[in-house]
Amino acid sequence: MIPRTIESPTPVEPHRPATLPQLRLVRDATQVRPTTPLIPSSQCANCMMHWACIASAVPSAQREQLDQMVHTWRKIARGEALFRAGDSFHALYAIRSGSFKTVVSHPNGANHVTGFQLSGETLGLDGIAADRHTCDAIALEDSTVCSMPFHCIEDLCQDIRPLQHRVHQLMAEEIVRESGLMLLLAGLSAEERVATFLLNLSTRMQDRGYSALSFTLRMTREEIGSYLGMQLETVSRALSRFQREGWIVVSGKNIELIDKAALTEL
């Protein structure tokens, strides 16, 4: 059904509520609300990732203050950058749908993938230190993010202690993640790194209500290799060996974990 434009002189007929979940992610720019602006908190209430988002730290009784923090949301097409290294830091971004990779560039021109972020996770923490982003955030698929201006977060943290605690948690989680990555690269064999990567992704997918045993790798083998500190061919050999052993089934980008115990015991 084609929506009426805002210039239409005839009143807009009431519509039956949408039933498809994906429609909740699309802002209807044709609807006229002369006295009631778009309320971000209503988007938060309808978001499947609300439980994991930084906005979940704001108690329901303080929803008006949440409106100040979650200003808008953006669509980022596959392959496009949410921000680039060197960009001024203004906001944190909660991934509402889709996934991203973060990439740093070395002086010699080489790029290195430093992380993969899924729905419900937060992007932009790297910019807090120097008020500029230190990495690129690239969408691995068509994605949407909620923008939270950092000055609003700072102001609200003074009044909402749970929000302040959550921000501190996010910063601490970044430190733990960086330490875990260093251990992964320094202390594990190539096959152990790939197995750990698959198991970690399995857990994160399960936490988001998806299957822990069957999922799609949105990143390429080359990107996985960059993240794990190995060549593309090494990643492919490890996956081939896991499939020969009957531990996983690989079909293109689709992965099915058959024997998680075997991967854990590597």
Query: In this structure, what DSSP letter does residue 88 have?
Result: B
Q: Is residue 95 part of a domain?
A: yes
Q: Which of 133, 145, 144 is nearest to 103 (CA)?
A: 133
Q: How many domains does the chain have?
A: 2
Low-confidence ranges of the chain (pLDDT < 70): 1-43, 45-46, 50-52, 63, 67-68
Whole-number pLDDT of residue 70: 79
Tell whether 235 and 117 lie within a shared domain.
no
- Domain of 139 in residue numbering reads as 21-184
Q: Is residue 3 part of a domain?
A: no
Q: Is residue 194 part of a domain?
A: yes
Rounded to an integer, what distance in angstroms lies between the CA atom of residue 138 and that of residue 78?
8
Q: Is residue 139 part of a domain?
A: yes
Q: Is residue 14 part of a domain?
A: no
Whole-number pLDDT of residue 51: 67
Tell whether 69 and 114 lie within a shared domain.
yes
Tell whether 31 and 157 lie within a shared domain.
yes
Q: What confidence tens digit (pLDDT) does each residue in 60-85 have?
A: 777 677 766 777 789 999 999 999 99
Question: Residue 213: which CATH number?
Answer: 1.10.10.10
Question: Residue 74: which CATH number?
Answer: 2.60.120.10
Tell whether 37 and 124 lie within a shared domain.
yes
Whole-number pLDDT of residue 216: 95
Whole-number pLDDT of residue 43: 60
Q: Is residue 124 part of a domain?
A: yes
Whole-number pLDDT of residue 179: 85
Q: What confidence tens digit (pLDDT) does each residue in 13-25 have?
A: 544 444 434 333 3
Rounded to an integer, what distance in angstroms lies between the CA atom of residue 119 and that of residue 196?
20
Alpha carbon distances (Å) from 166 to 54, 169, 173, 180, 227:
7, 5, 10, 21, 27
Tell whether 55 and 144 lie within a shared domain.
yes
Q: What confidence tens digit (pLDDT) does each residue in 95-111 have?
A: 999 999 999 998 888 89
Whole-number pLDDT of residue 45: 65
Q: Is 170 exposed, middle or buried (0-12, 13-18, 19+ CB in 10 A)?
A: middle
